[in-house]
Amino acid sequence: MKISRTFLVLVLIFILFFIGQYLNITRLGDDLVAHDPYYHKRISDLYVIQGNHIKDIPNSAVETPIAYTSLTHPLAAIISLVTGLNTLRIYQVGGTFLLFLISLMIFLIVRRQTKRDSFAVLGVVIFLSFNYLLTRMSMLLPENFALLFMAILIFLVFVRADKNLIIVILTTYLFYHQRSIILPLLFFVIYFVLNKKDLFLDKKLFFRNLLFTTLLVSLLSLPVLIELAPSYFFLAKSFLGINQDWGVIALDRSVYQAFGLNDLNTYLNPLVLVLILFAFSGLKEREAKRKEILVSGTMVVLLLVLSLSTLVASNIPSSRLVIYSSVFISIFAPIGFNVINKNINILVFLLTVLVCLMALNLFSEHGWSGVSGADKETINYIKVHQGSSVVVSYGTFYYTFLDNAEWDPEFPLQVFRQDDRKEVLYLLKNRYGDRKVILAITSSGFNLLSKDNPSIFEVLQDDQIFETWNTKVYQIDLAREK
């Protein structure tokens, strides 16, 4: 059987991808990239230990429900129990295999649309050249599953698959990452608007199918939708000005800043941006009037423009919007470029440059830092010396490491806004009575307080028990305070 050169190139690209990921994960050691994987890993660990559904955030001083149902948690626990692998390893490598599956879906979508394997490979390389995908998203996260199911939904819609298949995938999407469900819904709306003439050939049948699909997905996903409703309700009130934006009340406000063009350049890399522009320039061609190209292009524009919008970014991290755009960019850019380019030499050149950029990202240490040394030192100190305390943190805190101390995720953070120790004690006593309390100001919180309320460091200076880099830990034994 003759094997095509394009297939060999694709295999080599995937080999390069896996080698790069292996080296980076090995370099990471017993750590994970970014905060979120530790949160999800902790819940999976509790599934392994308890063997049943986890309802509350672990180690919390007050009952705090987990408002983030995701099948990622029990799935990782099951894999751990069946294979004997530590959940840390599963969360380290799981994202890599999901990115591989997403790449295969992109290959299938682009190949079907262009009828050319070379452009399908271009789509894969574009996807695997996103730096953020090769770092944070290499960890096992519910968002990885969202990207995978989004790619599957795109494929099913483009091939006009049976509605029952779409119902299954959409419902599964909700159970893995319900918070981003607005993205496939936007995709469906745009597809409907651009295809209404074809879809309306039998209006009665169309609306009957639409109603059936909506009702069945809603019924199957009811537990998730009940949990999801408050989040979207809060978001709606924020956009209406009723609630404060997340960018105002969040501890790390830098996450909720609108992107600039330089940020897009960092996340996408310059050549991908150029390819997007070329793809859009080809929309004037008659061949580019296909609805699949227009739908993908519209989603690219929408997500990138929203990432630049201050109104949206103050409630939804711009980085997430750009990450979700990666699937649509990887589909739209090669399909659109195929319309205007018939020169195989240019395609080979683009593939070569993009593979080099992908390799640079793969073998770069940039972004592959786990929990900072300061955070680890702080957590270890609290674990060893401060058992049976309540921990209150300002800034990112890896509370999931705590075994003996409790963490209060709902404590009113105005305690860190005070400039009088009596007010601090009053707030603490009202909530904890005569317990021992640890106030941890981590690096992100330290930077914020240094600007917003530097006097808090003087107010608490006599209570300090630990310090490392931009991290300070204070202890107040409320039983001894008058």
- Structural domain count, the chain: 2
Gap between the Cα atoms of 236 and 204, Å rounded: 32
- Would you say residue 122 lies in a domain? yes
Tokens for 425? 């004690």
DSSP, res 453:
-
Q: Which of 362, 389, 411 is the last residue of a domain?
A: 362
Strand ranges across the sheet with 471-477: 406-407, 390-394, 436-441, 471-477, 464-468
The pLDDT of residue 203: 67
Gap between the Cα atoms of 143 and 324, Å rounded: 9
List, in sequence order, every residue forming a beta bridge with 439; answer none if it has no partner: 392, 474
Gap between the Cα atoms of 336 and 330, Å rounded: 10
The pLDDT of residue 1: 47
Contact 128, 17 (CB under 8 A): yes
Which of helix, strand or coil describes residue 154? helix
Helix or strand (DSSP H, E) at 465 = strand 464-468
The pLDDT of residue 364: 63
| 428 and 295 housed in the same domain | no
| 268 and 317 housed in the same domain | yes
What's the chain's average pLDDT? Answer: 80
Q: Which of 362, 387, 418 is the last residue of a domain?
A: 362
| 28 and 138 housed in the same domain | yes
Contact 392, 431 (CB under 8 A): no
| 206 and 338 housed in the same domain | yes
| 433 and 474 housed in the same domain | yes
| 354 and 393 housed in the same domain | no
pLDDT tens, N- to C-terminus, the chain (482 residues): 456 777 888 888 898 889 888 888 888 888 888 778 888 888 888 888 776 666 666 666 666 666 677 889 999 999 999 999 999 999 999 999 999 999 999 999 999 888 888 889 889 988 988 877 777 788 899 999 999 999 999 999 888 877 888 888 999 998 988 888 888 989 988 888 887 766 655 667 777 777 888 888 888 888 888 888 877 787 777 777 777 766 666 656 667 777 877 777 777 777 777 778 777 776 666 555 577 788 888 898 888 888 888 777 777 888 888 888 889 999 988 887 777 666 566 667 777 777 777 776 666 655 555 666 667 777 778 777 666 678 777 766 666 566 556 777 666 677 888 888 888 888 888 888 888 888 888 777 777 788 778 888 888 888 888 888 778 888 888 888 76
- Would you say residue 367 lies in a domain? no
How many whole angstroms from its chain centre is CA 54?
22
Number of C-beta neighbours around residue 310 at 10 A: 12
Q: Position 384: which residue type?
A: V
Q: Which of 316, 332, 362 is the last residue of a domain?
A: 362
| 392 and 286 housed in the same domain | no
- Would you say residue 295 lies in a domain? yes
The pLDDT of residue 261: 75
What does the pLDDT look like over 181-191, one tens digit per residue?
888 989 988 88
| 228 and 314 housed in the same domain | yes
Gap between the Cα atoms of 318 and 306, Å rounded: 8
The pLDDT of residue 51: 65
| 207 and 284 housed in the same domain | yes
* Structural domain that includes position 438: 373-480
| 358 and 377 housed in the same domain | no
DSSP letters for 279-321? HHHGGGSGGGG-HHHHHHHHHHHHHHHHHT-HHHHTTS-HHHH
Gap between the Cα atoms of 54 and 383, Å rounded: 23
Cα four-point dihedral sign 157, 163, 168, 174: positive
The pLDDT of residue 475: 87
* 230: Cβ contacts below 8 Å, ≥ 6 apart: 67
The pLDDT of residue 83: 92
